[in-house]
Every structure is written in C-alpha cells, then in structure tokens.
Amino acid sequence: MAHRETFYEVMRQHGITRRSFLKFCSLTAAGLGMGPEFAMKIAHALETKPRTPVIWLHGLECTCCTESFIRSGHPLASDVILSMISLDYDDTLMAAAGHQAEELLEQTIEKYDGNYILAVEGNPPLNEDGMYCIQGGQPFVEKLRHMADHCKAIIAWGSCASWGCVQAARPNPTRATPVHKVIRNKPIVKVPGCPPIAEVMTGVITYMIAFDALPELDRQGRPKMFYSQRLHDKCYRRPHFDAGQFVERFDDEGARKGYCLYKVGCKGPTTYNACSTLEWNDGLSWPVKSGHGCLGCAEDDFWDKGSFYSAVTNMKVMGSAEADADKVGKVLAGAAAIGVAAHAAASVVSHMSDKSRKEVRHD
C-alpha cells in the first residue's frame, strides 16, 4: 500500500510553511474554544497521523447537511476533504457510481476495519422492511448496520440522524428512526441542527481527528463544545428580552428596531446550538439576527412542538395524542373557578333550606 501521508505533510507539500501550519492549529483550537496548549496537541496529532477514512452515508434526508458542510469557512471544506480526512465514500460527491461505488465500502472495511469514522446524514426508515429508502436494491438500514459494525465511531449529522427530524414528524409514515435507536454498539456523536452550522460540523470532525478522541458529550449525546448553551443565553437581542421589548408582529416598529422575537415564537430560550455565538456562513448572521425567530431546529422533535410563531406551544401528552397542555391547564383552572362559584351557590341554597327546616321543627 502506498505511503499514507499525514495532514502536516500534505500541508507542507502545498507550500504551507510550518509557521502558517501552526497558525492554522491555533485558529482551529480557538475555533473549538480552547487555549494555546491545545494548538500544540492539534499540531502534533496532524503531524503524525495518516488521513482518517470517513464513510459518509445518506439515508432519508434532504442533503442540506452536506450543503452546510461545504459552506465551512474555517477550515474550508476543500481542505477538510483533500487534506484532513479521506472521504472514501459519499454518494453526493464521489465520482464512482453503481457497483464501483459500493465496492469502496467493502474495500474500506477490509483496509480499515474498526478504524474509520462513519458519518451518517439522514436516517433509516423501518416500515415496509426499510424499503422507503432503497440503496443498491436493498434497505438503507442494512447498509447502515453493516458499515456501523466495522467503524470506530459514528457521527450523526443533523437532526435527521440525531433525532429523526421532518420525516419522523407525526405521523412518521415511514417510521424514520434516528441512528442511536438502530445502532447500539458504537459511540455516537450527535451533531443536531437542521442543518448544523458548517463550522460546527468541521469543528467536530477536526476535533475527532486531531485528538483521536470523541468530544465530550452532554446528557443527550451532543458535543459540549458547541451545544452546551441555549441561543437565548448568548443572543444579542437578549437585552430587549430582559427589558420587556418585543416584536409584536413581523415588520412592526419593534422588528425594525431589533427587539426580541419571543412573542413571535422564537425558540431560542429552549434551543441548544451555537447560532447566537458562531453564527452562520462565516459568522455573518443567524435566523434571529435576520428577523425570524429560531425554530428550535437542533432540538429533538422540534416539528411536533406546536406553532413556530407562538412562545407557548402544544406538546404531546400521552403518546401521540397531541394537545395544548397549557390550554388544558387553563380550562381546568377556569372550570375550577366556575365549579367553586356553583358549589358556593349550592351551599348557600342548601344552608338556607337547612335553616328553614330547623325553623319548621321549632314550630
């Protein structure tokens, strides 16, 4: 087998000096929110390792995770694909097709058993024996299981792979199922978002390669480095929220002044993502900055949590029956008040009749 060059070698060969290589490492470290000592660790890792093979599978999805990935500004997607990883299978980008493409999967297993990263975009449907997503005449779920069996770790790209996303929204006709509910024997890093931010995607994958380790995950399996805070915690409109200044309807006076979007349904207070800090497309903007509330696209099941345009929303109670629990509560409280009034009236009536009976007895 040919000599597999390290990331550093590749960079040097591109005419990149050691100085700018180190600068790249410290920028990467800073991008990951880490200090200079980590920059040296990244440098060391990149200097000594061959490019890690990545198999990128697509299930039921919309390919916008891939689209987002290629929007990465730092590092550039072209650098990730050509210099940092070895993208050995990705149906959206690869030159081969048909059985020439499928052969690559077996080749990767042969050469790198237990050593490649499996990146999954989208998810497998389980109804109809999995035939709502067919690849090579077979259900996608089989391909997923097969490639998962031999991988080192899985990255679940986007809300599809992480949670189920739009195709899993009620009534989920295909029984689209997130990766962790199908694959249970491998570590899974969830990178939710519909899609996730480009630099979050490249940040996670470069972290895994540079440190040869999984990022630290939160309770729900998301990398803490990007998903440990709500958008609302870092939102630049937050002073307006605290002040009580809200957009009451789109394009009103408040909207033009940049007031808080809570009343028009912003889900920033309940959404964990990096939008309000990293922002999108090279840190240019993010949904809230452009005037539309956050949809909560990185949260589990965000499609079925009621209107995108109201702060108080429905939720599922008792399985799939959906009800506006808040409304139920309101109705109960109202009923209690009415009930009490009625009971009080009845009590008065009953009391009076008691009295009159007593009076009768006295007679």
Partner 1 sequence: MTKTVTANGFALDTSGQRVVVDPICRIEGHLRIEVNVDEDNVIRNAVSTGNMWRGLEVILEGRDPRDAWAFVERICGVCTGVHALASVRSVEDALGIQIPTNANHIRNLMMLNQYVHDHLVHFYHLHALDWVDVVSALSANPRQTSALAQSISNWPKSSPGYFRDVQNKLKRFVESGQLGPFANAYWGSPAYKLPPEANLMAVTHYLEALDFQKEICKVHTIFGGRNPHPNWLVGGMPCSINVNDTGAVGAVNMAWLNLVSDIIDRSIEFIDQVYIPDLKAIASFYKEWGYGGGLSGKNVLSYGEFPMAANDWSNDNLMMPSGAILDGNLSQIYEVDTRDPDQVQEFVAHSWYSYDDESRGLHPWDGVTDPNFKLGPNAKGTKTNIEALDEDAKYSWLKAPRWKGNAMEVGPLARYIIGYAMGRDDIKGPTDDLLGALGLPVSALFSTLGRTAARGLEASWAAHKQREVFDAMMANIKAGDTATANMDLWEPASWSAQAKGVGMAEAPRGALGHWIKIKDTKIENYQAIVPSTWNASPRDPAGNIGAYEAALLGTPMADPTQPLEILRTIHSFDPCLACASH
Partner 2 sequence: MTNKAAVEGHSLANIQPTYVFEAPVRIWHWLHALSIFVLCVTGYFIAYPLPSVGGEASNHFLMGTFRWLHFVAAYVFTIGFLVRIYWAFVGNRYARELFVLPIHKAEWWKDLIHEVKYYGFMTRKSHKILGHNPLAQSAMFFFNVILTLFLIVTGFALYAEGLGQGSWADKMFGWAIPLLGGSLNTKMWHLTAMWLMLVFVVIHIYMAIRADIMSRESSISTIIGGWRMYKDDLP
Residue closer to ligand SF4 (CB basis): 70 or 82: 70
Of the candidates 300, 297, 298, 325, the one whose C-alpha atom is nearest the C-alpha of residue 313 is: 325
Which residues within the stretch 272-301 sit at the binding site for ligand F3S (CB under 6 A)? 273, 275, 286-288, 294-298
- If binding is defined by CB under 8 A, does position 249 make contact with partner 2? no
Sole residue written with tokens 């008792």: 318
Binding mask 120-159 for ligand SF4 (x = CB under 6 A): -xx-----------------------------------xx
> Of residues 143, 150, 232, 305, which one binds ligand SF4 by CB under 6 A?
232
The string of DSSP codes covering 288-339 is HHHTS----TTSTTGGGSS-TT-SS--EE-STT-EE-HHHHHHHHHHHHHHH
> Which one of the spans 41-49, 133-141, 143-151, 242-250 is the region binding partner 2 (CB under 8 A)?
242-250
> What are the residues binding ligand HEM (CB under 6 A)?
269, 312
Q: How far is the CB of 356 from partner 1 (least distance, A)?
A: 50
* Token pair of 251 as six digits: 């394009």
Distance in Å, CB of 281 to partner 1, minimum: 4
The packing angle between helices 198-211 and 36-48, to 10°, is: 70
46 Cβ contact list (under 8 Å, min separation 6): 6, 7, 8, 11, 21, 25, 84, 209, 210
CA angle at residue 13 from 26 to 32, to 5 degrees? 20
Partner in contact with 198, chosen from ligand F3S, partner 1, partner 2, none, beta carbon below 5 to 8 Å by kind: partner 1
Sequence letter at residue 359: E
What is the spatial distance between Cα 175 and Cα 133, in angstroms, rounded to a whole number?
11
129 is written with which tokens? 């024996």
Tell me if 80 sits within 8 A of 205, measured CB to CB.
Answer: yes
Which one, 179 or 266, has the nearer CB to ligand HEM?
A: 266
Cα–Cα distances in angstroms (integers) from residue 58 to residues 79, 188, 190, 197, 199, in the given order: 22, 16, 15, 18, 20
Least Å from the CB of residue 260 to ligand SF4: 3
Binding-site partner at residue 262 among ligand SF4, ligand F3S, partner 1, none, CB < 5 to 8 Å by type? ligand SF4
Contact positions vs ligand F3S (CB under 6 A): 193, 231, 271, 273, 275, 286-288, 294-298
Q: Which residues bind partner 2 (CB under 8 A)?
A: 218-220, 224, 228-230, 233, 239-246, 248, 254, 259, 262-263, 267, 269-272, 296, 299-302, 305, 311-316, 325-326, 328-330, 332-333, 335-337, 339-340, 343-344, 346-347, 350-351, 354
The residues of the shown chain that bind ligand SF4, judged by CB under 6 A, are 61-62, 64-65, 121-122, 158-160, 165-166, 194-195, 231-232, 235, 237-238, 241, 260-262, 266, 268-269, 288, 294
